[in-house]
Amino acid sequence: MDLAGVLLLRGRVADDGTQRNHHEYGQDNWLRELGMVPTAAHPVSKLRWLSLHAADAAAKAQRVMIPHDWLTWGLLERKGEPVTDRSDASGTGYWSPISGEYRHDLIELALGRTLKVPEVLGAAERAGVTKMGVVVAAGCGDNAAAVLGLGARPGEAVVSIGTSMTVSMVTETHVVDGTFHVADMANASGGQLTLVATLNGARTLTAMAAMLRLSLDEMEQLSDAASPDADGLCFVPYLDGERKPLLPEAQGALTGMTRRSMTPENLARAGVLGLACAVADAVDDLARTGLAVETVTLIGGGSKSRSLRQAVSDLTGRAVGWPKPREYAAIGAAKQAAWALTGEIPQWNRPDYKVIQPSESREWAHVVRARYAAAAGKVFGAELR
């Protein structure tokens, strides 16, 4: 994380040498009032960075928009004021899904003054109509669109495994996570979306396959031939740093290396288990906030892995389902567009799911989870030092 994010997150006093010191907001206040703690990825931290490192540009700024807002404004030929939706607004760090209002004081905290912001539309509201007569919906974030496209239900944890990974659930309640792993955001249908985001998703599998000089299919076959617990080999997949836990400079780790464990089969299995443990940790994060996580649904490129699907089921102790591979975020956007056009949310059928259950014998899964927690804890400790 850069200086901007650290200052806002940790409640320190900032001094950029040109402005008076600002007393920073503090983690507890962010959680209680915004439902999340900002990192360098959030727009509020980018405003702080701008104020610290590009003061001339910051002084010229008049309004702030995220790319979604700017594209919607462009579709409407920049006529009228920009608009946004609740789901993307809730990821800015200066709009609260709890109060349903902008926090101009936090924009001022970050930038030194406030800016114009887009109007936040309701789920079914129209952003406008193009000169060709095309209705433009409010739009939404990709995770909110995916769960809308799936028709995700309460109790269903949706795990999107692409380059990165997110685990989300629709709910009507607000959650507060003192570990800062779970964000309380807005969804695209008027409710809430609890979200855990990590940096390392399916690319951890492609990296392991590349190290073994195998295709993903070949690595999967090799993984299937290994011991369920990889004979003690443990892979912590922080290959690009990590966002959850917040370790931007962390690196991956491979532990438990013995003559018995250091085989190609166990390396492949450890790669699968490392990603599956990250999924299981995120599911536990959601459950720890009081949410009832009943089932797990996998989407995205990583969901194609048979070994990963079974490992997630075994490590979480829950049924794992996966629908036919489709662009569910695009389907959600289409559903929202139809809602804006007709005034009624479409009652499209949920996709058909294939489902697997945890293995009957999975005592090894508890050992793997404990081993992974210990290895990840060592990485975490080294990063803090």
Query: Which residues does the annotation mark as catalytic?
Result: 142
* Residue entry with tokens 């109007």: 119
Helix or strand holding residue 356 (H, E): strand 353-356
Please answer whether residues 84 and 138 qualify as being in contact, where contact means their C-beta atoms are separated by less than 8 angstroms: yes
Q: Which amino acid, one-letter code, is at 101?
A: E
State the Cα–Cα distance between residues 48 and 314, nearest whole angstrom.
43
Please classify residue 193 by burial: count the beta carbons closer than 10 Å to its beta carbon, then call 0-12 exposed, 13-18 middle and 19+ buried: buried
The one-character DSSP state at 88 is H
**CB neighbour list of residue 17: distance below 8 Å, 6 or more residues apart:** none
Two structure tokens written together for 27: 């983690």
Handedness of CA 210, 211, 216, 218 (dihedral sign): positive
Q: What gap in Å lies between CA 274 and CA 294, rounded to an integer?
A: 22
**Joined tokens for residue 196:** 């855990």
Q: Rounded to the nearest 5 degrees, what angle is found at the Cα of 62, between the Cα atoms of 83 and 333?
A: 20
